[in-house]
Amino acid sequence: MKLYNLKYRNEKVSFLQAVKMGLGKRQGLFFPINLPLIKENRLKEMLEMDFLTRSVKILSMFIGDEIKLTELEKYVRNAFSFPGPMIIPVTNNISCCELFHGPTLAFKDFGARFMAQILSHLNKKNNITTILTATSGDTGAAVAHAFYKAKNVRVIILYPHGKISKLQEALFCTLGKNITTIAIQGSFDECQELVKKAFHDNQLKKATGLNSANSINISRLLAQICYYFEAYALINRNNQKKLVISIPCGNFGNLTAGLIAKSMGLPIKSFIASTNINDTVPRFLKTGKWEPNNCVSTISNAMDISRPNNWPRVEELFFRNKWKLNDLGFGSVSDDVTKNTLCELKQLGYISEPHAAVAYRLLKDQIQPDEYGLFLGTAHSAKFKNIVDDILQENIKLPIELEKPSKFPLLSYYMKPDFNKLKEFLLFKS
């Protein structure tokens, strides 16, 4: 597969190069020059396959002969070694598509674990790779677990001290071995700034074999296409024809993957781009003006992003397929409405969490009588236990994935947001 840089289309790379580089020149995103198309009868066959077999087929359409099929099969099996999507009915025409049954209880496990497999494929020559990434919560855990004990890979995760939940922190700061976590005495923005500086430091890049694992990496995106096909295959045939999917959006990677699935031929009727009050995209879709505000903290914190990285890919998909941006559903939801919606969902017999609740609200408000709706469940409610317990007067039981680490000591280092300190640490300490 050839990809080009959306900002600088003369820059063309292979799939493996794109995974290694992350971003192209001028921070441009890579995107496949041609997207594979699945014919109708072939689609029928594929929908009858099991999740893993079908996922290998889908990914091989992109990766081609860059990775041998037998190897790719092994990587997909290693990456998706946990329960795939599950469809849980909530009303007569709305279900939650739960994507959080992986080791870190968030949908990010699909992308992070596949990326880990591809990087270890690239890294057969025993060079040390350093994965440096900043997290506001869920990415850190997914990346840490995906690379835990991987050969020749060390992972350094920066996070804002005191600004992520205790359970989120326990999930990736208690692992040790090749996973190093640094609590930065500053904000998430300052963590991200340190990572950017590191990537601009050529000496550091060479000496440590620096790579990033953030969500703009094409391997994470491609892995996510697979669960849209599975969700479609799992729902009843009558509902397939009028399927609307509402997605809780932050960096818009999840929506991008859904749109790629549709452009390959998966007949999803429409999507709803759901956000919290960090609503750059809903305002853009309404007014045509791109005007990011300062980021505001909400209870759906993984969506607290006002400059969504993946938006150029969404526009590219609309442009290429001659779809109209007008057909993309959208909306934003305040914290108060999110809280009420969590209560409404509880009355329907479904305990959810703030991100999925945002997606449910907009779906419920916008769905037409003849449509069938899925809202994506991106994280397990226990990850947001404090807030969910408080709103719903519940006492959510911690699944084993969270209970175990919550008893282990934190192994994090503490650091001021000082690039020279970080550089010294990366070169000499870990």
Ligand X SMILES: *Cc1c(COP(=O)(O)O)cnc(C)c1O
Residue 5 or 135: which CB sits closer to ligand X? 135
Residue 72 or 255: which CB sits closer to ligand X? 255
The phi, psi pair for 43, rounded to 5°, reads: -60, -45
Binders of ligand X in range 188-227 (CB under 6 A): 215
Report d(CA 268, CA 262) in Å as an integer.
6
Smallest gap from residue 382 Cβ to ligand X (A): 12
Say which residues have a Cβ less than 8 Å from residue 300's Cβ, sequence separation at least 6: 248, 276, 335, 338, 354, 355, 357, 358
Report d(CA 85, CA 378) in Å as an integer.
10
Residue 374 or 422: which CB sits closer to ligand X? 374
Report d(CA 157, CA 191) in Å as an integer.
9
Binders of ligand X in range 291-320 (CB under 6 A): 302-303
**Only segment of 170-178, 244-252, 325-333, 416-424 that touches ligand X (CB under 6 A):** 244-252
Does the footprint of ligand X cover residue 253 (CB under 6 A)? yes
SS3 100: coil
Residue 316 or 418: which CB sits closer to ligand X? 316
Report d(CA 169, CA 141) in Å as an integer.
8
Among 188, 252, 271, 311, binds ligand X (CB under 6 A): 252
Binders of ligand X in range 335-394 (CB under 6 A): 355, 378-379
Report d(CA 68, CA 60) in Å as an integer.
9
Residue 108 or 113: which CB sits closer to ligand X? 108
Number of residues that bind ligand X (CB under 6 A): 16
Residue 178 or 251: which CB sits closer to ligand X? 251
Residue 30 or 73: which CB sits closer to ligand X? 30
**Only segment of 72-80, 81-89, 248-256, 319-327 that touches ligand X (CB under 6 A):** 248-256
Residue 211 or 251: which CB sits closer to ligand X? 251
Say which residues have a Cβ less than 8 Å from residue 8's Cβ, sequence separation at least 6: 24, 25, 26, 28
- Pairing assessment for the beta strands 86-89 and 30-32 based on DSSP bridges: unpaired
The helix (run of H) or strand (run of E) holding residue 88 is strand 86-89
Report d(CA 258, CA 376) in Å as an integer.
11
Cβ proximity of 232 and 243 under 8 Å: yes
18-57 mask for ligand X (x: CB under 6 A)? ----------------------------------------
Closest CA to 111 of 183, 178, 36, 55: 55
Smallest gap from residue 206 Cβ to ligand X (A): 30
Does the footprint of ligand X cover residue 159 (CB under 6 A)? no
Residue 72 or 257: which CB sits closer to ligand X? 257
Query: Tokens representing 320?
Result: 């290429």
Among 54, 57, 101, 108, binds ligand X (CB under 6 A): 108
Q: How many CB atoms lie within 10 A of CB 321?
A: 12
Smallest gap from residue 117 Cβ to ligand X (A): 20
Smallest gap from residue 121 Cβ to ligand X (A): 24
Among 98, 109, 138, 169, binds ligand X (CB under 6 A): 138
Cβ proximity of 115 and 80 under 8 Å: no
The amino acid at 266: L
The helix (run of H) or strand (run of E) holding residue 424 is helix 419-424
51-90 mask for ligand X (x: CB under 6 A)? ----------------------------------------
> Which stretches of the chain bind ligand X, using CB under 6 A?
106, 108, 138, 215, 248-254, 302-303, 355, 378-379
